[in-house]
Amino acid sequence: MIVEISVVPIGVGESLSSYVSEALKVIREKGVKYQLNPMGTVLEVDSFSELGELLDEIRCRLEEMGAPRIYVVVKADWRKKATDMEHKVKAVEEKLRS
């Protein structure tokens, strides 16, 4: 399943990049395949449960950094037919060229 997460700590000032990079460290530690973009991080996970555990760890790490409140947005694209990040982009790009 392909998902995108955006983690927005609140109450820690205007600059959030150190919190976002800490979240990426958790993702790396878990060995999850990811792709960073300017508005979020796209991941490949097997289930919402796996995603939930990952988000709890990220939330703990950011709380330890002092974040009193964290706003999170998740977009998920579950599909019975197996797919991955590369195929999704490739399918669109092929149609763009046609």
Task: Provide the binding-site residues for a second copy, judged by CB under 8 A.
Answer: 2-4, 6, 8, 10-11, 13-18, 20-21, 24-25, 35-40, 42, 47-56, 59, 63, 68-81, 85-86, 88-89, 91-96
Taking the complex as a whole, the smallest distance from the CB of residue 44 to a second copy amounts, in Å, to 9
Q: What are phi and psi of 73, to 5 degrees?
A: -120, 130
Q: Is 5 helix (H, G, I), strand (E, B) or coil?
A: strand
Give the H or E element holding residue 36.
strand 34-37
Residue the block writes with tokens 């982009």: 89
Taking the complex as a whole, the smallest distance from the CB of residue 27 to a second copy amounts, in Å, to 11
